[in-house]
A and B are shown apart, each in its own frame.
Chain A
Amino acid sequence: MTDRLRKHLRPVGLVLVMMGALAPLTAQTAPPVLTVSVASSLADVMDRVVTAWRARGGGAVALNAAGSQVLARQIVQGAPVDVFFSADAAQMKVAAASGRLVEGSVRVLLTNRLVVIVPATAGPARLRPADLTMPRVRRVALGQPDSVPAGVYARQWLEAQGVWQGVAPKVVPVLTARAALAAVAAGRADAGLVFATDALASAEVRVAYEVPAAETPGIAYPVAVVRTARAAEGQRFVDFLQSAEARTLFEAAGFGVRTP
Chain B
Amino acid sequence: MDTTIWATTAFTVLMGLLSTLVAMPLAMGVAWLLARRHFRGKPVVETVVTLPLVLPPVATGYLLLQMLGVSAPVGRLLDAIGVEVVFTWKAVVLAMVVMSLPLLVLTLRTGFEQIDRRYEQVAATLGASPWRVWITVTLPLARRSIVVAALLGFARALGEFGATIIVAGGIPGQTQTLAVALFTFIESGRDAEARDVLWVSLALAALAVLAAQLLRRREGQP
**Interface of A toward B, CB cutoff 8 Å:** 67, 69-70, 119, 121-122, 139, 141, 144, 146-148, 171-175, 179, 182-183, 185-189
SS class, residues of chain B in contact with chain A: loop
Residues on A with C-beta less than 8 A from B165 are: 174-175, 179
B65 adjacent to A147 (CB under 8 Å): no
> Is B66 a contact of A186 with CB atoms below 8 Å?
yes
Stretch at the interface among B32-40, B69-77, B96-104: B69-77
Hey, which chain A residues are within 8 Å of B62, CB to CB?
182
Q: Are B68 and A172 in contact (CB under 8 A)?
A: no
B69 in contact with A147 (CB, 8 Å): no
Chain A neighbourhood of B65, CB < 8 A: 182-183, 186, 188
Pair B171/A188 contact, Cβ less than 8 Å: no
- For B175, the closest partner residue in chain A by CB is A172
- Counting from the closest, the 10 A-B pairs by CB-CB distance are A187-B70, A186-B69, A188-B86, A147-B188, A147-B187, A172-B169, A146-B188, A186-B65, A182-B65, A187-B69
Q: Contact flags (1/0) for B151-172 with A, using CB distance below 8 Å? A: 0000000000000011001111
A/B interface sample: 10 pairs, CB < 8 A: A67-B187, A69-B188, A146-B188, A147-B187, A172-B169, A173-B170, A173-B171, A183-B87, A183-B169, A188-B87
Starting from the known contacts A172-B169, A186-B86, 20 additional A-B residue pairs (CB-CB under 8 Å) come to: A69-B187, A69-B188, A121-B71, A147-B184, A147-B187, A147-B189, A173-B170, A174-B165, A175-B165, A179-B165, A182-B66, A182-B166, A183-B169, A186-B69, A186-B70, A186-B72, A186-B75, A187-B69, A187-B70, A187-B71
- Are B184's CB and A188's CB within 8 A? no
Question: Does B87 contact A144, Cβ atoms closer than 8 Å?
Answer: no
Q: Quick one: which of B186-203 are within 8 Å of A by CB?
A: 187-189
**When the two chains form their complex, are residues A189 and B87 in contact, meaning their CB atoms are under 8 A apart?**
yes
B130 to chain A, nearest CB (A): 38
From A69, A121, A174, A188, B68 is in contact (CB under 8 Å) with A188
Q: Mark B75-86, 1 if CB is under 8 A from A, else 0.
A: 100000000001
Pick from B70, B170, B172, B188: contact of A188, CB below 8 A. Answer: B70
A-B contact number at CB 8 A: 61
Please give the distance in Å from B3's CB to the nearest CB on chain A: 13
A174, B184: Cβ atoms under 8 Å? no
Known contacts A147-B187, A182-B62; A139/B87 CB under 8 A? yes
What is the interface of chain B, defined by CB distance below 8 A to chain A? 62, 65-66, 68-72, 75, 86-87, 165-166, 169-172, 184, 187-189
Chain B residues with CB below 8 A from A175, complex form: 165
Checking A67, A122, A173, A179 against B70 with a beta-carbon cut-off of 8 angstroms, the contacting residue is: A122
- B219 vs chain A, min Cβ distance (A): 32
Distance (Å) between the CB of A1 and the closest chain B CB? 32
Please determine whether A188 and B187 come into contact, CB atoms closer than 8 angstroms.
no
Which of A144, A146, A179, A188 has the most CB atoms of chain B within a 10 A radius of its CB? A188
CA distance A141 to B172 in the complex (A): 13
A144 and B187 contacting across the interface, CB-CB below 8 Å: yes
- Residues in B whose Cβ lies below 8 Å from that of A172: 87, 169, 171
Give CA–CA (A175, B187) in the complex, Å.
Answer: 10
Complex CA gap A32/B65 in Å reads 41
Kindly report which residue of chain B lies nearest to residue A175, judged by CB atoms.
B165
What chain B residues lie within 8 Å of A188 (beta carbons)? 65, 68-70, 86-87
Cα(A141)–Cα(B166), bound, Å:
11
Measured CB to CB, the closest approach of chain B to A218, in angstroms, equals 20
On whether the beta carbons of A119 and B171 are closer than 8 Å, the reply is no
Nearest B residue (CB) for A121: B71
Smallest CB gap from B71: residue in A: A187
Question: What's the least CB distance linking A254 to chain B, in Å?
Answer: 23
Bound form: Cα–Cα A119–B125 in Å: 61
Question: From B172, which residue of chain A is reached at the shortest CB distance?
Answer: A173
**A173: contacting residue among B66, B68, B72, B169, CB under 8 A:** B169
* Chain B residues in 8 Å Cβ range of A174: 165-166, 169
